[in-house]
Amino acid sequence: MRFIFIMNPRAGEGKAGETIRAAIEKLPEKESCEIYLTQCEKDATAYVRKYCAEHPGEELRFIACGGDGTINEVCNGAVGQKNVSVTCYPCGSGNDFVKAFGGAEKFLDVAALLRAPTRKIDLLKIGDLYSDNIVNFGFDTTVAITINEERAKKGTSSKSVYTKGIVKALLTSMKNSFRVIADGEELLPEGKALLCTLANGQYVGGSFRCAPRSRSDDGLIDVCIIRPISRIRFVKILGTYTEGKHLDDEKMKDIVIYRQAKKVEVIAPEGFAYSLDGEIIYDSHFTVEIAEKVLDLAVPE
């Protein structure tokens, strides 16, 4: 097996590369390891596809070294490829994807990543793009736009950036217009909500357990809508939402809409934006479908 480390040179404040290289040098498999430094957005996806085309029939494992964006790009490149598995060395600011598999610490042993067994996982499919974790919009997208703007300015992001995004959303994004149709059922007839998450993973924004019942191999999209609420109530329920207790909290039943579905259609006004694993996409009418067990993910035991 060949092991290809796809590394975002900015992740981990630029220090992760040194740690990974040192770990590779100690491995008996080091001659089978390669490192590729990404150059720009979408570069990881293009590189993985190109590498697979140049090594047909070989067993390959791509290790995404970075945050959720790097993991997403590697997954988009690897989906549909034969004899290919994916894992990650999480050194981003949020590392949301791996939280559903035991957390970042479980993935920081490079030797374990090379020897980890694989499992089939689902992805969310939107046109020709895939999400391994969360597609979300409304309040959350305002937060994500702020994060991306700060990352573009500074080259990285931090916990304080998430806080800044939340403050901005509290001022501008408490009532958002969109319709959500899950397996043919209109979930939001009034057409207004605080936020909506379509989940394959469980976490978003670094710490918010938005989809506590979601499983990446159950063939279902977890749909959660929060109706418009006051800022005072937002503050009161934030802890419950962060801990992932909102689906079972009696005090939130009047504002939570929850379903599991195979296909979700979203219709919104022109200029509408949604976040796909942190990437901002502008589209007023899109469909999210579950792509069942289309990726081999290596998870250390």
| Residue pair 246/281 in contact by the 8 Å Cβ criterion | no
Identify the band that residue 12 occupies on the pLDDT scale cut at 50, 70 and 90.
Answer: low
Whether the CB-CB separation of 152 and 10 falls below 8 Å is answered with: no
Cα dihedral value 39, 133, 12, 138, nearest 10: 90
pLDDT of residue 10: 79
Angle at alpha carbon of residue 210, lines to 8 and 252, rounded to 5°: 160
Three-class secondary structure of residue 12 per DSSP:
helix
pLDDT at 248 over 60: yes
Q: Which two tokens stand for residue 5?
A: 């480390």
Compute the distance between CA of residue 99 and CA of residue 200 in angstroms, rounded to an integer.
12
Q: Where are the domains of the chain?
A: 2-116, 134-292
Work out the percent of the chain whose per-residue pLDDT is above 70. 97
The pLDDT of residue 48 = 98
pTM reported for the whole predicted model: 0.93
Please state which CATH class domain 2-116 belongs to.
alpha beta
> Which of 59-73, 140-154, 263-277 is predicted least confidently?
140-154
pLDDT at 153: 75
**134-292 has which CATH code?**
2.60.200.40
Residue 238 has pLDDT above 70, yes or no: yes
**Cα end-to-end distance, the chain, whole Å:** 19
pLDDT tens by residue, 100-146: 999 999 999 999 999 999 999 999 999 999 999 999 999 989 988 88
